[in-house]
Chain A
Amino acid sequence: MTQSEMKHCWLQARESGDYSAVIAAIPYARTIGMQMHVDAGEPRFVLPFAQSNIGNVLLPALHGGVIGGFLETAAILTLLTATETAGIPKVVDFSIDYLRSGRPVDLYARCEIVRQGKRVANVLMSAWQEDPQKPVASARAHFLLS
């Protein structure tokens, strides 16, 4: 997929409010099965429970890497929503705190762009299950904007 195709896909999603084609265009996002919608201008993310995202079969619990990848993708899509470019931001560093084990139910996420400059952006991410006040993980990252 070229950058102009990606941009077209993104603009269509923005107009229609249906972001499924954007997710489908990012193979990793499709593999973990995440979804995106925009609620009053705020991007919201859901990772419906899937057996293939389990990393601990004894508890059972979602794989920590999946929670990290979900949050990282959520941050990238939040940045794409906030900027005019369609180039995918490059992650510079990513730091995640695991606060609770991810139970085998749906996982939600939201992101906050703390600071966005011309070249770099700082984003905070939070993931939760039933209660937004009881996060499963929180993360922060820097991205290079392209």
Chain B
Amino acid sequence: MSVRNAVFFEQLQRWFMTLPHCQVLGLEYVEADAGSVVLRLPYSEAIVGNPETGVVHGGAVTTLIDTASGTCIYTLFDAPESVATLDLRIDYLRPASVGEAILCRAECYRLTSQIAFTRAIAYQGEREIAHGVGTFMRTQVGAA
């Protein structure tokens, strides 16, 4: 299996990673397959949420999961289209280890003509940090 349109997806994921807030967090693309994508959030002092422990803020994990979930839908597209998050639910399973990058694997497990359903796991090695479930609305580019 591979992404629907490799050339399109390659350009698209590169563009995604240049979005201002993705740059602030230093999000990196790792790999993709049909319906799934892996992104990486490097550890940095700028995204710490608890100054006592140095643990990364849930908000940064939310951004990682939202971006990975949105991006994975594009592995199923041939051409530009816009997707907007309708809702996102995240369960924080355990605190992330301090100083270590967090990876996120997101998959689009159901795609309809209007809605995309996604699920995601944020992890550090074997440790699962957070589980996310999202729904996204498909919109033709320019119609939003």
Q: Do A and B bind each other?
A: yes
Q: Does A69 contact B (CB under 8 A)?
A: yes
Who on chain A is nearest to B89 by CB?
Answer: A95
Task: State which residues 45-102 of A face B: CB under 8 Å.
Answer: 51-59, 62-66, 68-70, 72-73, 87-88, 90-98, 101
* B45: A residues at CB distance < 8 A: 27
Q: Does A25 contact B (CB under 8 A)?
A: yes
Who on chain A is nearest to B82 by CB?
Answer: A58
Q: Does A38 contact B (CB under 8 A)?
A: no
* Contact (Cβ within 8 A) B20 A1: no
A70 CB to closest chain B CB (Å) equals 7
Who on chain A is nearest to B23 by CB?
Answer: A52
* A2: B residues at CB distance < 8 A: 52
Task: State which residues 50-91 of B face A: CB under 8 Å.
Answer: 50-52, 56-60, 62-67, 82, 84-91
The B interface, classified by DSSP as helix, strand, loop or mixed, is mixed
Q: B19, B22, B58, B89: which contacts A72 (Cβ < 8 A)? A: B58
* Contact (Cβ within 8 A) A93 B91: yes
Known: A25-B51, A26-B49. A65 touches B144 (CB 8 A): no
Q: Does B48 contact A (CB under 8 A)?
A: yes
Known: A31-B46, A72-B59. A53 touches B52 (CB 8 A): no
- A-binding residues in B (CB < 8 A): 19-24, 45-52, 56-60, 62-67, 82, 84-92, 95, 141, 144
